Amino acid sequence: MNVLVVCTGNICRSPVAEQVLAARLRAAGIDDVRVSSAGTSALVGEPMTAEAAALSVRFGADPSGHAARQLTPQLVQEADLVLTATRAHRAQVAELVPRAARHAYTLREFARVLAFLADDGGFDPDQAEPDSILGRLDLEPPALGLPNPGSASPLQRATDAAARSRGIAPPPSDPNDDDILDPYRAPIAVYDEAGRLIDDAVDAIVSALATTSVSGGRGGS
C-alpha cells in the first residue's frame, strides 16, 4: 500500500508526518506500507528545515536523506491514500486527479474518522456489528469498487472503511481544526504546535489500527 503525504514546500509538515507515520507503523508491526511525501509548491531538492528535522527526531523518526519533490498527477495516481496538511492541499490533490478525492484526507481528518470508526466497531463491513455504522451501511465492497477487506492490510481496510463513512463521522466544530498550520519561517512555537498536531494525528491513526482486530472488531488480536 502506498501513502502520500502532501503539504506546500515539502520541507516541514509533510516530511515530518511521512517519517513519523512510517516509524509508528513499523513499530506497530504494519510493515506493508510505503509512505512518501511531496509538495504542491515544493522547494525541489531542498532538505527539511532544521526545526522540522528536529521535530522528526523528537518523535522517533529519521529525517536524514530527505529531498523535497513536487507533487505530480503520477504520484497521486500511485497512492492508495493521500494525507494532506490542510483542506486546501486536499483540494489541490483532487484538482490534479479528481478520482483521488475518495481517498484524500487531511491528516487530522483521517485520524478523526478512524477514531470514530474504531470506537464504532471496526473497519471491516463483513465483520461489523449490526448496529455499527458499517453494519448499517450494508454495502458489499465491489459496490464501491473497493477490494475485499479480508485480503487487505489493516491500513487498507481502514482506508476503505473511511471512504464509506467519512460523511457520517461527526465534523469538528471549527473546520480549521482539520488543518495543520504552516510553520515555515515562523517562530519555534509554531513549529512545536504543528509538530504536536502531527504527532497527535499519527498517534490516533496507529492507535485506531492497533486497537482494531485483523478481522475488523475491537480489542482482538
* Cell reading at 3: 501513502
For the entire predicted model, the pTM comes to: 0.85
Could you give the angle at which helices 154-165 and 188-210 cross, rounded to 10 degrees?
Answer: 100
One pLDDT digit (tens) per residue for the chain, 221 residues? 999 999 999 999 999 999 999 999 999 999 889 999 999 999 999 999 999 999 999 999 999 999 999 999 999 999 999 999 999 999 999 999 999 999 999 999 999 999 998 887 656 544 444 444 444 444 444 334 444 445 567 888 889 989 988 888 899 999 999 999 999 999 999 999 999 999 999 999 999 888 764 334 433 33
Q: Which fold has domain 2-137+151-213?
A: Rossmann fold (3.40.50)
Which pLDDT does position 149 carry in this prediction?
A: 46
d(CA 221, CA 209): 11
Which pLDDT does position 119 carry in this prediction?
A: 82
Could you give the angle at which helices 50-58 and 188-210 cross, rounded to 10 degrees?
Answer: 40
d(CA 63, CA 146): 34
d(CA 155, CA 131): 23
Helix or strand (DSSP H, E) at 81? strand 81-84
CA distances from 173 to 106, 162, 180, 194 (A): 16, 20, 16, 19
